[in-house]
Amino acid sequence: MGDHQIRATRGPLRWLTTTSHKDIGTMYLWLSFSMFILGGAFAMIIRAELYQPGMQLIEPEFFNQMTTMHGLVMVFGAIMPAFVGLANWMIPLMIGAPNVALPRMNNLSFWILPPTFLLLMSTLLMPGGAPSADWSLVAPSSAGNAVTSLTYFVLSVHLLGLSSIMGSINIIATVIKLRAPGMTFMKMPLFVWTWFITAFLLIVVMPVLAGAVTMVLMDVRFGTSFFPAAGGSDPLLFQHVFWFFGHPEVYIVILPAFGVISQIIPTFSRKPLFGYDSMVYATAAIAFLSFIVWVHHVYTVGGTVAQDLFFMYATLLIAIPAGVQVFNWVATMWRGALTFETPMMFALGFMVLFTIGGFSGLMLSSAPVNFQYHDSYFVVAHFHYVMVAGAIFSLTAAVYYWLPKWCGRMYNEKLGQLHFWVAFIGFNMTFLPQHFVGLAGMPRRIPDYALQFTDFNMLSSVGSFIYAASQVLFLYNVVATIVAGKPTTEEKVWEGAQGLEWTLPTPSPHDTFETPPLMK
């Protein structure tokens, strides 16, 4: 009863006014997929230019705008809204709630996004183009020649932050207030736990980002001197403020991924998750540590040795809770009755490749060697193993895992397996060689390179086109499933599925858990 009944509106207005967590979850997922295609198109432009040394296709200034927009669109447009979409769909189903706690605010936090992304994209057409200082907005050069667009750019970052904060408040309120009787905190599924913790991270760091970009705006427009050295300030201040936001942001996109994997591995192992309690504590520990490691992004700017050492040890510590998670997944599979459907394949791909990204992260966290790797392609390879093989693989796994429950139709398994292998090969072909050119000294964010890097860059570009092609398979498979997939009415779509959401009818009806279920 209550707000969610507004969904009865019919026609196109239904999507504008809906307060159903399922409608809003679906819209989030489609929006994020469109932004994923857009951010991917920017990456294709970058890789096409880097296919050969020399300048072929685009101007260096435009290349820089592409790296900026690619990063921003992928982080704020593709990955974060996708996880919010999954949270919308799944958290109420997993805790036995009829809807999220604040359905109208949920509608608002979604509908802020499409116009905001249009605003962000429109900066590309403004005089001087979009800001071209990478997604980390390296302060002294933030404006570049793009003073006009910077204003709108900052506004769009504020709006994105607003949407994230509202989404987080909603998730926290839902988890605290709407759990079914008997659903204690320590019975919540891991996906709910990881999102609950992530929501707190978001609420803490989004205002920090907003403050940082506001100060940049004041410097550029109103002549303040928060960052410029000429005005007596320290340009490093910006880097510290930005990365105080930026590092926890990395965990904001990866903790829900851990949650997804912790749902999928037990299902296809036909065993309960191994080490549930330690998973919860490990997630909380990672969240806490993420606040005290940001200086590992700026080792090379000339801090004290004591400072670099503190942040190096703090960063290394994260390997412990992250290792606990990986060991628990392996222990869950140990002697399980394993099967390898598409969601499980992507989950296993996640485990292997994310672990590689974790290890290259350990290498980077070491202050002395970081002086060698800093701003090289090794860093690019590292964070794409975390962001793509980590976040995007887990999102793909989640869609294949829950899609049959959402729409009551089964996807094409053969096509799913093909999608996995094309994505897996394309991904590794793109990013594995970037480790090698990085170690050999190729700098990032430069549209041209020395001749000796040519072979690996060609391989990388061809790999990126293959990875892009795999997304066409994904889109086709999802649309074909929704339109004409084999109907399924099994409550448990997967034999080993565990949890409240699998006690509901398939396809998931519009209104669920109007009367809260009773947990044992």
Query: Nearest distance from residue 296's CB to Cu ion, in Å?
Result: 5
Question: 294 or 449, CB closer to Cu ion?
Answer: 294
Structure tokens at 165: 């904060």
Scanning 290-412, the segments in alpha helix (DSSP H) are 305-317, 319-333, 342-365, 367-373, 377-386, 393-407
Query: Nearest distance from residue 290's CB to Cu ion, in Å?
Result: 8
Q: Indicate the DSSP class of residue 124.
A: G
Sequence length of the chain is: 520
Question: 189 or 438, CB closer to Cu ion?
Answer: 438
Question: 292 or 462, CB closer to Cu ion?
Answer: 292
# residues near Cu ion by CB under 5 A: 1
Alpha-carbon radius of gyration of the chain: 23
Contact 373, 363 (CB under 8 A): yes
Contact 432, 389 (CB under 8 A): no
Select from 245-253, 320-328, 357-365, 391-399 the region that touches Cu ion (CB under 5 A).
Answer: 245-253
18 phi, psi to nearest 5 deg: -60, 145
CA 224: distance to chain centroid?
Answer: 34
Query: Nearest distance from residue 365's CB to Cu ion, in Å?
Result: 8
Query: Nearest distance from residue 234's CB to Cu ion, in Å?
Result: 21
Query: Nearest distance from residue 443's CB to Cu ion, in Å?
Result: 19
Select from 7-15, 59-67, 147-155, 240-248 the region that touches Cu ion (CB under 5 A).
Answer: 240-248
Structure tokens at 442: 């190729």
Spatial CB neighbours of 474, under 8 Å, sequence gap ≥ 6: 396, 419, 423
Question: 247 or 384, CB closer to Cu ion?
Answer: 247
Residue among 270, 378, 257 nearest 322 (CA): 257
Select from 242-250, 397-405, 418-426, 494-502 the region that touches Cu ion (CB under 5 A).
Answer: 242-250
Query: Nearest distance from residue 432's CB to Cu ion, in Å?
Result: 22
> Between residue 441 and residue 500, which ones bind Cu ion under the rule CB under 5 A?
none
Select from 177-185, 201-209, 244-252, 485-493 the region that touches Cu ion (CB under 5 A).
Answer: 244-252
Question: 110 or 311, CB closer to Cu ion?
Answer: 311
Q: Are strands 409-410 and 486-487 parallel, antiparallel or unpaired?
A: antiparallel
Query: Nearest distance from residue 361's CB to Cu ion, in Å?
Result: 8
Contact 376, 438 (CB under 8 A): yes
Report how far residue 401's alpha carbon sits from residue 403's, in angstroms, rounded to the nearest whole number: 6
Question: 245 or 276, CB closer to Cu ion?
Answer: 245
Structure tokens at 104: 């109208």
Select from 241-249, 273-281, 420-428, 502-510 the region that touches Cu ion (CB under 5 A).
Answer: 241-249
Query: Nearest distance from residue 84's CB to Cu ion, in Å?
Result: 22
Query: Nearest distance from residue 247's CB to Cu ion, in Å?
Result: 4
| Residue 466 backbone class (left: φ over 0; alpha: ψ -120 to 50; beta: rest) | alpha
Report how far residue 497's alpha carbon sits from residue 83's, in angstroms, rounded to the nearest whole number: 21
Question: 14 or 444, CB closer to Cu ion?
Answer: 444
Question: 292 or 440, CB closer to Cu ion?
Answer: 292
| Residue 181 backbone class (left: φ over 0; alpha: ψ -120 to 50; beta: rest) | beta
Q: For Cu ion, which residue has the nearest CB?
A: 247
Q: Is 21 in the site for Cu ion (CB under 5 A)?
A: no
Query: Nearest distance from residue 24's CB to Cu ion, in Å?
Result: 31
In this structure, the dihedral spanned by the alpha carbons of residues 256, 196, 184 and 344, taken in order and rounded to 10 degrees, is: -10
Query: Nearest distance from residue 370's CB to Cu ion, in Å?
Result: 11
Question: 390 or 416, CB closer to Cu ion?
Answer: 390
Q: Is 247 in the site for Cu ion (CB under 5 A)?
A: yes
Query: Nearest distance from residue 292's CB to Cu ion, in Å?
Result: 11
Q: CB count, 10 Å around CB of 488?
A: 15
3-state secondary structure 386-422: HHHHHHHHHHHHHHHHHHHHHHCEECCHHHHHHHHHH
Question: 247 or 435, CB closer to Cu ion?
Answer: 247
Question: 96 or 256, CB closer to Cu ion?
Answer: 256
Binding mask 367-396 for Cu ion (x = CB under 5 A): ------------------------------
Select from 138-146, 196-204, 246-254, 281-289 the region that touches Cu ion (CB under 5 A).
Answer: 246-254
How is the chain split among helix, strand and coil, in percent rounded to 5?
75, 0, 25
Question: 102 or 252, CB closer to Cu ion?
Answer: 252
Structure tokens at 298: 């700026």
> Between residue 35 and residue 74, which ones bind Cu ion under the rule CB under 5 A?
none
> Between residue 406 and residue 445, which ones bind Cu ion under the rule CB under 5 A?
none
> Between residue 104 and residue 163, which ones bind Cu ion under the rule CB under 5 A?
none
CA angle 396-509-7, nearest 5°?
A: 100
Q: Which residue ranges make up the site for Cu ion (CB under 5 A)?
A: 247
